Amino acid sequence: MGKTIAMIPARYAATRFPGKLMKMLGDKTVIRRAYENTLATGLFDEVSVVTDSDIIYDEISSIGGMVRRSTKEHESGSDRIAEIIVDMDVDIILNVQGDMPFVKKEPLAKLLDVFRDPAVQVGSLMQELHEEASINNPNVVKVVVDRNMNSLLFSRSPIPYPRSVDIPITWYEHVGVYAYRKQALLNFTQWPMTPLEAAEKIECLRYLEYGIPLKMVVTDYMGVNIDTPEDMEKALLLV
């Protein structure tokens, strides 16, 4: 598949939980756990954090990690990564969110494997949802797929809606790990924000609105994404 790298976009001033990446999760910061666990998979030619924050830059540098500095304002982590990779010789880029400290090898390996199909431009992960509270929680992004595991829609609303109570439904949560071919990511950054993306605040909807499905891979439980202080409380129970 050519050169494959992992990048972890990291912004300090998160809207819902400012400074979350530098919060202590046990004896390490959230961003350090995300970086070290991604590196430990051994799947990549390079693993780096991409940030515009001096605090995060110094945190990763202090442990001898690779960290790259972005210089522009960005709407999304994908945009932040695209700034860095535009002049890099790379084929597949895997985007691990900095607020995912419990990332594991097997799901990432399965995600990378879908790129053996040259038709796949973008891929991502999803996991089953079982709790009604999560299904109805707008902070949990849901996804529905077709028979070939291509994404049909992402939404903060519960999808599919259980209009018929006689049909068993499996709900999936979108896990915010993406993989892209380089050109697909660069194309994404050139396209204007689309109406569904703007309404839902879900960046991957831009791909769908431009006719690019995401190949979805089912994974087992990936731990807690730390979006809110309440998520941090859950994450502390896992360390």
Average pLDDT over residues 131-142: 93
Average pLDDT value over all residues in the chain = 93
- Percentage of residues in the chain with pLDDT exceeding 70? 100
Taking CA 30 as the corner, what is the angle to CA 61 and CA 179, rounded to the nearest 5 degrees?
Answer: 85
Q: What is the pLDDT of residue 17?
A: 86
Average pLDDT over residues 173-190: 95
Residue type at 29 in one-letter notation? T
Has residue 31 got a pLDDT over 80? yes
Average pLDDT over residues 35-51: 97
Average pLDDT over residues 87-94: 96
Q: Answer for the pair 129, 142: CB distance below 8 angstroms, yes or no.
A: yes
Using CB atoms within 10 Å of the CB of residue 216, give its burial: 0 to 12 exposed, 13 to 18 middle, 19+ buried: buried
- Quick check: pTM over 0.85? yes
Strands 122-129 and 215-218: parallel
Measured CA to CA, the distance from residue 210 to residue 203 in angstroms comes to: 12
Name residues whose C-beta falls within 8 Å of residue 51's C-beta, 6 or more positions apart in sequence: 9, 10, 11, 12, 57, 60, 67, 68, 69, 70, 80
When pLDDT is cut at 50, 70 and 90, the band that residue 154 belongs to is very high
Q: What is the pLDDT of residue 139?
A: 87
Q: What is the pLDDT of residue 112?
A: 97
Radius of gyration of the chain (CA): 17
Residue scoring higher pLDDT (5 or 12) = 5
Measured CA to CA, the distance from residue 214 to residue 184 in angstroms comes to: 11
Measured CA to CA, the distance from residue 150 to residue 77 in angstroms comes to: 22
Q: Which residue has the tokens 């945190």?
A: 59
Average pLDDT over residues 92-111: 95
Indicate the SS3 state at residue 53: coil
My answer on whether omega of the bond before 192 falls inside 30° of 0, hence cis, is: no
